[in-house]
């Protein structure tokens, strides 16, 4: 009787299987019972995870176990299930295919949910238009944790709910929406921030507009239970159910994000971002000066969230009950028009700000102070049109990111993709039509992939207008 593949020594068998793709290795489990038993061994699956998915979340956790020599965690983990999950995940990501589609009913109420208006810019070419900006959704999701937070239509008791995308279990978010208008919601770094304003205006700005007090409420989001949500446990055969866990939302703090309040309209806008320790907001307001000053009013404020605080300024508009201790959020940096101009991030009448972001870690525990950068990402396009479009559009497409320190006076971090002008523009990657614009013939291309499927092979220059027509 001949020697079966599964009877080979472990090192030889592992070397053979590692030459297959992750999807092929999973499919080989169906060949026979012996193949299934061999391909679901923990030691083999650990080797395959390190070979195929070393930088995945599960792969990083596995390397941490190996580095710490945590034999108990290694024995407890179901690595065959982990490898199958990773193979499925990256197969669907690589092919841009959804693995599962679940429809979740979401509240649609313009009186309670009113997002921040995006810039008035769109793409226009040869009579065709396309969106350049989109409204923020009324929901938020944390891909790493697999958690969705959304406004649920629950009849009279309308509120936000959290849905675990792995198990389908839901939990209530302790945020009372009565008398409030939600402007934006964001879940990042284990902190859920809901930006909202009062439905009733606090004071008039002029004869036509009134300001509403705007606040941000933060919750610490934790997974509680016997499972960390990363590595499933190996079952002993008695039970095949997933270890129980729930999501806990603990109130952390609340603060007023604008000292005077903002009108709820289509002219005043604000961008924000946060991580586990800091929150930043940029506001852009058209001037309401009766003296004809045309420059928009811009302000950037960076908050340090600090330790949890039960104080809610929305329940104390006068500030008489504000505690004297150092708990809760505090402002560590505030800049207006002139300072923003010095840092090169002032937007003016033709704003191009696309998004803001903070470093993952902006707290130095050894010095007990803030560190890191806040990043402004701006985007301009040759075909941009609308009142907020640039008067001097870029030659093609430009994306610029500027990083400024949370504290201190520098240095500034700048990455400019497609900017600088001149004949030889530097880009982050080579698009379909740019290859033909920059090369004289096909022999100059050392890329085996055909970037332009409809190319005629003669190396003729291709304009961005032609690329637009091809995409249509």
Question: In this structure, what token pair is assigned to residue 400?
Answer: 């610029």
The answer to whether residue 268 sits within a structural domain is yes
Number of H helices, E strands in the chain: 10, 23
Residues 268 and 330 in one domain: yes
Residues 149 and 84 in one domain: no
**Are the beta carbons of 164 and 170 closer than 8 angstroms?**
yes
The answer to whether residue 146 sits within a structural domain is yes
Residues 185 and 267 in one domain: yes
Residues 325 and 195 in one domain: yes
| 242-298 pLDDT tens trace | 557 889 999 999 999 999 899 999 999 999 999 999 999 999 999 877 776 678 999
Q: How many domains does the structure of the chain reveal?
A: 3
End-to-end CA distance of the chain: 62
- A 10 A CB-CB count for 82 gives 24
The answer to whether residue 258 sits within a structural domain is yes
The answer to whether residue 426 sits within a structural domain is no
The answer to whether residue 90 sits within a structural domain is yes
**Are the beta carbons of 77 and 61 closer than 8 angstroms?**
no
Q: In this structure, what DSSP letter does residue 104 have? A: -
Which residue carries 């560190």 as its tokens?
A: 371
Nearest one of 320, 303, 214, 227 to 264, comparing CA atoms: 214
Determine the structural domain holding residue 178 and report its residue range.
Answer: 122-236+243-341
Residues 89 and 142 in one domain: no
Residues 27 and 154 in one domain: no
Residues 261 and 147 in one domain: yes
Residues 147 and 87 in one domain: no
Nearest one of 359, 258, 347, 337 to 301, comparing CA atoms: 258
The last residue of one of the domains, among 94, 110, 140, is 94
**Are the beta carbons of 309 and 328 closer than 8 angstroms?**
yes
Residues 68 and 134 in one domain: no
The answer to whether residue 224 sits within a structural domain is yes
| pLDDT, mean of residues 183-196 | 97
The last residue of one of the domains, among 323, 341, 359, is 341
Query: Could you tell me the strand order of the sheet in which 122-125 lies?
Result: 128-131, 122-125, 384-385
The answer to whether residue 373 sits within a structural domain is no
Question: In this structure, what token pair is assigned to residue 68?
Answer: 């710490």
* Cα–Cα distance measured from residue 463 to residue 472, given in angstroms and rounded to the nearest whole number: 15
Chain mean pLDDT for the chain: 86
| 311-368 pLDDT tens trace | 999 999 888 888 887 889 999 999 999 999 999 999 999 999 999 999 999 999 999 9
Which pTM was predicted?
0.82
DSSP assignment of 44-92:
HHHHHHHHH-TTSHHHHHHHHHHHHT-HHHHHHB-HHHHHHHHHHHHHH
| pLDDT, mean of residues 162-181 | 92
The last residue of one of the domains, among 305, 322, 341, is 341
Residues 198 and 285 in one domain: yes
**Are the beta carbons of 415 and 377 closer than 8 angstroms?**
no
* Cα–Cα distance measured from residue 305 to residue 311, given in angstroms and rounded to the nearest whole number: 13
Residues 151 and 83 in one domain: no
The answer to whether residue 424 sits within a structural domain is no
Q: Is the pLDDT of residue 196 over 70?
A: yes
Grouping H, G, I as helix, E, B as strand and the rest as coil, residue 352 is coil
| 9-19 pLDDT tens trace | 889 999 999 99
Residues 58 and 138 in one domain: no
| pLDDT, mean of residues 39-56 | 95
């Amino acid at each position: 009787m001949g020697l079966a593949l599964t009877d080979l020594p472990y090192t030889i068998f592992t070397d053979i299987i590692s030459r297959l793709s992750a999807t092929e290795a999973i499919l080989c489990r169906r060949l026979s019972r012996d193949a299934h038993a061999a391909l679901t061994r923990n030691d083999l699956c650990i080797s395959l995870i390190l070979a195929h998915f070393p930088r995945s979340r599960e792969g990083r956790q596995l390397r941490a176990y190996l580095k710490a020599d945590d034999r108990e965690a290694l024995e407890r983990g179901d690595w065959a299930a982990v490898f199958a999950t990773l193979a499925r995940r990256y197969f669907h990501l690589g092919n841009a295919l959804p693995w599962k589609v679940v429809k979740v009913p979401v509240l649609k109420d313009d009186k309670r949910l009113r997002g921040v208006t995006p810039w008035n810019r769109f793409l226009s070419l040869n009579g065709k238009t396309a969106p350049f900006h989109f409204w923020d959704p009324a929901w938020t999701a944390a891909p790493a944790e697999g958690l969705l937070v959304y406004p649920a239509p629950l009849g009279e008791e309308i509120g936000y709910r959290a849905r675990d995308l792995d198990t389908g279990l839901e939990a209530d978010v302790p945020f009372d929406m009565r008398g409030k208008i939600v402007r934006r919601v964001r879940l990042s770094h284990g902190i859920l921030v809901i930006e909202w304003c009062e439905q009733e205006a606090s004071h008039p700005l002029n004869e036509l507009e009134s300001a509403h007090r705007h606040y941000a409420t933060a919750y610490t989001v934790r997974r509680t239970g016997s499972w960390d949500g990363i590595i499933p446990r190996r079952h002993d055969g008695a039970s095949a159910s997933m270890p129980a866990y729930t999501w806990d939302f603990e109130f952390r703090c609340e603060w007023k994000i604008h000292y005077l309040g903002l009108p709820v309209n289509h002219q005043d806008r604000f961008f924000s971002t946060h991580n586990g320790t800091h929150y930043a907001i940029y506001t852009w307001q058209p001037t309401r000066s009766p003296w004809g000053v045309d420059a928009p009013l811009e302000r950037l404020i960076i908050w340090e969230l600090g330790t949890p605080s039960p104080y809610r300024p929305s329940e104390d508009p006068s500030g008489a009950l504000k505690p004297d201790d150092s708990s809760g959020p505090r402002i560590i940096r505030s800049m207006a028009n002139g300072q923003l101009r010095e840092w090169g991030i002032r937007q003016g009448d033709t704003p191009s700000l696309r998004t803001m972001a903070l470093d993952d870690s902006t707290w130095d525990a050894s010095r007990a102070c803030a560190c890191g950068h806040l990043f402004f990402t701006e985007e301009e396009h040759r075909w941009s049109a609308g009142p907020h479009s640039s008067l001097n559009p870029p030659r093609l497409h430009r994306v610029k990111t500027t990083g400024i320190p949370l504290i201190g006076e520098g240095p500034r971090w700048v990455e400019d993709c497609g900017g600088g002008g001149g004949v030889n523009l530097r880009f982050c990657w080579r698009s379909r039509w740019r290859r033909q614009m920059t090369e004289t013939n096909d022999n100059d291309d050392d890329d085996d992939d055909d970037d332009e499927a409809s190319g005629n092979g003669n190396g003729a220059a291709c304009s961005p207008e032609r690329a637009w027509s091809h995409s249509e």
